[in-house]
Structure 1
Amino acid sequence: MTGRDRALQLLRRRPDLADCAAYPFDVDLARAEHGEAVRLASGAALEAVAGDDTGGTFFVCAGGQVLYASSEGEAGLIADSVDEALEVLIGLPGWHDYTGLAPDVDDTALAAAVAETEGNLREYYGPDLDADRSALLTALGLREVPQPQLIRRLHRALLRTEPDFLLLNAEEGCAYTLLDRLPRPPLWQTVLEPGQADLALLRADRTRWPEVAADAARRATALRAAQYDRRDTDLSFLRVLLQHEAQHGATEELRLAAVLVGLHGQQQDHQLLHSLRAASYDVLCHLGGFPDIAAELSTWAAEFDESNHGADPEDEPEFTWAELARRQGRTELARAALLRLLDDAGPRDAALLAGLADELTQLGDFTQAARARHLYASLQDDPTRRGAALTDLASLQRRAGDVEAAGRSVQRAVAVLDGPQPAAATDQLALDLNLPEPQPTTLAWRTLGLGLSVTEEHFRIAQEATTVGLHAVARASLAAGTALLLELPRPTEALHQLARETTQMLDGALSPIADQRDSAGG
């Protein structure tokens, strides 16, 4: 027994205390089973310990925090430990009524809200609510905290639900909505804050310029901060940030840095940007329409600025801030924002879904990346794009550990890319003139890089299926990949080597099985 779950252990040992906790305080240890499988988006452990009469469940997280999930798909952190949670739940029967109270309400208003809720409870339970509450708290060794203080503590916990305690439906991957509607800072504010600090640092201390400029995430965030807080005196360090960003190719921050520098219209900056474009084809294309003369630099930058950047961070897509959070190393913050975007995505969001799949892949969340790519693939009408998306989906499913689904996806990719075969000619004129039969177009995609990718994925799936003992899947994928390999006009030696390694791997895995069968037969 640990100090932080002492009260829970007492409830488990004392049926009389457990009965009192269940009624009237609605913390029932006998209901410790949620209506559907759930998991934390972070992958951290979760244990159901109790439930209430609405179908909601209380979970203990790996760090001891208590998360509540309703039967209606809402979830929220309610305390930092089981003991603190019980102080709230016993001290505030009807606690759900207080999750929507404004955080700036004074103690008098909070006490009035409690009096109203508990007055209704006493109509059903009787006059002993206060006495039973005091007795239960005392028996469990818990404090009887003033109720307004408990509400404020509950609110502080609820505000910490995201990003670290985001709850998902384990089967579908969709996120639970927040249990409360308390005001929170927007994502851009949280992500931009370190950039604002670095911007102040750049302005105050020239010796810190190399440090900020050399760090890709800090450089990008500082440039974003400079976008919304522009000063003429920033030009010198903006040039430094621009030159560092140009070393990383065509990024959105490169374009932003070029605009922030170009707006000043300096001759030397025209020369600097011209040299950066000349040194890299990617930069050349990314900074299109660049003027030949320095006098037009500021006009070019202003037009770029108007079409691509804004003066208010709230106008920037949420995806931008989620991506930047990921680059800052704030994994759970990025994941929570990306999953919320994924849950809200619709038929018109194909480009967003593609970006979400890429970002979730960068986070290593292949299950959610596959979910985004699956939706993206379903929106593609062009066979080549759909086939490519299905191939990428197969790769993500394989890396997520769902090898059978990966096998089905890559089979669908080939079927989509090949399309329906043309029917044989039946036109009598065509037959009389001895016109050639219509030729299938299935070989076209095999001549492209897509042919190499699809073939390689077959072998990768076969290897992974062999590793996990799915030998039927492995054999089918190896056979299909080998057939495709023979049809490729220019297969690489690396692909041939992968085919040989896959064959040897599967043969090695099947040999012991064959030996066992021979021994059993003998």
Structure 2
Amino acid sequence: MTDHALRKLRQDPRLAELAAFPFDFDLSRAAHGHVEPVRLASGGPIEVVAGSGSGGTYFGCADGSVLYADSEGGAGIIGSSADEALEVVIGLPCWFDCVNLSPHDGEQAVLARVAELEAELREDDDGFYAAREELRTALGLPARSPFDLVTLLHTALLRTEPDFLLLNEEEGGAYRLLDQHPRPPLWEPVLARGRADLALLRAGDRTAWDAVVGDAVRRRLALRAAQFDRADGDLDLLRHLLRRETESSMTDELRLAAVLVGRHGDVTDLPLLHEVRETDFDTHCGLSEIPEPGSDAAELTRWAEELDDMMFGTDPADEGLATWTDLALDQGLTELARVALIRELDEIFLDRSILRRPGDPARLDTSRLGRLACALERAGDLPQSLRAQRLYAALQDTAWDRISELRDQARLERTCGHLPQAVRTLASTRALLADPGDDSLRHWSRTNFGRFIAEEHYALTGALADAGLPEEARALLALADAILGELSGNAATGARKLAEETSERVGDLTGLS
């Protein structure tokens, strides 16, 4: 990957002028930046390289790739290097209209479409071909055919996600892809390791068995692979996976393993299933419907099939996104998970009606937002987690639920260093305590609910003190102490140690001021 051609453009005003017109790669527009503040979701650096007359921007990325963002919220990689991007821009000056072309369309169809687009350009500028030849030669770029350039562009565009997802800096929303080319569904790369491990287990290598079943993540993935690729000869390995999955307690994969074993209808597996069920309290509750010892094969099979139909199935496309994002994060495929989670969050922001309950469309099921906030925090993306959490808190129906989520919102704001916003959020929780508007808070002061509210007040007080804001810390400490004074029983006892530690920290700060 090189930027030889870009350096030549920067050194030669005549070449830079040719690049700006008719090829709309204008170095002078770099000084103006993009139409809005943007950043990569992955956190990687980007630098404005050039601009286009339509308000679009060419960004250079850390690995040398060039990302183009238009002024209407679309973005995509157009070259793995500046030189490659310039090959596309100069060789396909109509490249904006070629983003949905693919080498799979066939060479003849691609060449016909490019010829049609270039005929339109030639009508506007009869010196277009001469300018292209002069610029391409001066920059040392190869004279590739339009079909090869479309192939180059197509390959580059497919690299946009997951590493180069562009976000609006202020609102956090993601830019749409420039093209409409199909991408592999998330489950394919996530499940690849599980499929490979399932093949190892089926091969009967005992060393491989120990390595797979002894690793919690590989075990989960192998079970998911077995869910979608079922074989009559899998019963022994499924029994082994089931026994070992108890090490993780009550997981979806433990229930899946029990179902896959049960579907074989072998009543000699009932003692094993009951042993698994009694692993701990959670497994007892989660597998409480397993048929009792002495049941016949038909009853065992019926239980397994009904649970399978309700919770699992054989098509990975039917599995909820949370399954695949969780498994992606388990494997360290963080950027793949992040893209999927941000896209889902954007979808909700654009259309909250998708949260409507199927049986009660007047009400919203906001649990998806809570899951997104947790998953994005797990992915290390606190700004996106906070974005989800703020909407989640705003959509709660009862004072109890609103305060619970506002408290989490304040925690995220504090963790992100947004201390003034966290102070305002906690002020909202106190306002709801004073005037809840419903009876959901009747016992708040006698439960851990009240303790957690007080503890977040003390945690934020400590953060204010650490930030060198003594007046703000003292003011919030007084409010935290007032909440503590309303608590009773174990709630008050649980919060008192943190209260004392925080008071001491603020006192030390006061002594220094």
TM-score by length of 1: 0.90
How many Å apart are 1:267 and its aligned residue? 3.2
Counterparts in 2 of 1:272-421, with a 5 A limit? 272-293=272-293, 294-295=295-296, 296-345=299-348, 346-347=352-353, 348=355, 349-420=365-436
CA distance in 2, matches of 1:456, 1:48: 45
Tell me which moved more, 328-337 or 240-249. 240-249
Give the residue type in structure 2 aligned to 1:369. Answer: S
Q: Aligned match of 2:19 in 15, 18, 21?
A: 21
Q: Which residue of 2 aligns with 1:517?
A: none
Cα pair 2:45 2:61 within 8 Å, conserved: yes
Structure 1 residue 141 displacement after superposition = 2.8
Q: Is the 8 A contact 1:419 1:442 kept in 2?
A: no
Provide the C-alpha distance between the structure 2 equivalents of 1:458 and 1:330, rounded to a whole number of angstroms. Answer: 35
Native 8 Å contact 1:407 1:473 kept in 2: no
SS of match in other structure, 1:181: coil
Correspondence for 1:10 among 8, 27, 47: 8
Change in Cα spacing, 1:241 to 1:25, as seen in structure 2 (3 Å) is same
Correspondence 1:136-147 to 2 at 5 A: 136-147=135-146
Identity fraction in percent: 48
Give 2:9's aligned amino acid: L
Secondary structure in structure 2 of the residue aligned to 1:279: coil
1:504 CA drift (Å): 3.1
TM-aligned CA distance change 1:238 to 1:381, over 3 Å: same
Q: Is the 8 A contact 1:418 1:442 kept in 2?
A: no
3-state secondary structure, aligned to 1:239: helix
Alpha-carbon separation, structure 1, partners of 2:508 and 2:428? 29
Distance 2:17 2:178 in 1: 26
Moved more, 413-422 or 104-113: 413-422
Q: 2:174 and 2:506 mapped to 1: Cα distance? A: 39
Give the distance between the partners of 2:250 and 2:340, measured in 1 at CA: 25
Of 350-359 and 473-482, deviating more is 473-482
Compared with structure 1, are the counterparts of its residues 316 and 444 closer, same or farther at alpha carbon in structure 2 (3 Å cutoff)? same
Structure 1 residues without counterparts, runs of 5 or longer? 423-439, 515-522
Cα distance in 1 between the residues matched to 2:62 and 2:469: 33
Task: Give the corresponding residue for 1:431.
Answer: none
- Residues 307 and 124 of structure 1, relative CA distance in 2, 3 Å threshold: same
Shift of 1:496: 2.8
For residues 57-108 of structure 1, what are the alpha-carbon distances to aligned partners after superposition, in whole Å with 9 as ceiling and x for unaligned?
1111111111111111011111111111111111110101111124412222
C-alpha distance after superposition, 1:208-233 (max 9, x if no partner)? 11211122222111111111111121
Is 1:503 equivalent to 2:489 in the alignment? no
1:292 is paired with a residue whose SS is coil
**Corresponding letter in the other structure for 2:330:** R
Show the 5 A alignment for 1:25-104.
Answer: 25-32=23-30, 33-104=33-104
Q: Which amino acid aligns with 2:151?
A: R
Cα distance in 1 for residues equivalent to 2:96 and 2:305: 52
2:454–2:483 CA contact under 8 A, matched in 1: yes
What SS does the aligned partner of 2:114 have? helix
Query: Does the Cα contact within 8 Å between 1:377 and 1:386 map onto a contact in 2?
Result: yes
Aligned mates of 1:106, 1:182 — CA distance in 2: 15
CA distance in 1, matches of 2:268, 2:440: 55
Relative to structure 1, the CA distance from residue 20 to residue 487 in structure 2 (aligned partners, 3 Å threshold; closer, same or farther) is same
Give the equivalent residue in structure 2 for 1:202: 201
Structure 2: which amino acid aligns with 1:290?
I
Q: Note the aligned Cα RMSD (angstroms).
A: 2.0
Do the aligned partners of 2:47 and 2:60 also contact (CA within 8 Å) in 1? yes
Larger Rg: 1
Contact kept, 8 Å, 2:65 with 2:80, in 1: the verdict is yes
Superposed, 1:234-253 pairs within 5 Å as 234-253=234-253
- What is the CA–CA distance in structure 2 between the aligned matches of 1:158 and 1:176, rounded to whole Å? 14
Structure 1: which amino acid aligns with 2:171?
Answer: E
Per-residue deviation, 1:237: 1.2
Equivalent position amino acid for 2:133 in 1: S
Q: Deviations 1:148-184 (Å, cap 9, x if unpaired)?
A: 1111011001011111111111111111111000121
When residues 471 and 130 of structure 1 are mapped into structure 2, their CA distance, relative to the original with a 3 A threshold, is farther
* Matched positions, count: 493
Give the drift of 1:8. Answer: 2.1
Q: Contact 1:61/1:67 (CA < 8 Å) preserved in 2?
A: yes
Letter in 2 for 1:51: G
Structure 2 vs 1, CA of residues 474 and 143 (structure 1 numbering), >3 Å: closer, same or farther?
A: farther
Provide Cα deviations, 1:431-488, integer angstroms capped at 9, x if missing partner: xxxxxxxxx9967212111111111111111222233334444333222212212222
| Paired position in structure 2 for 1:215 | 215
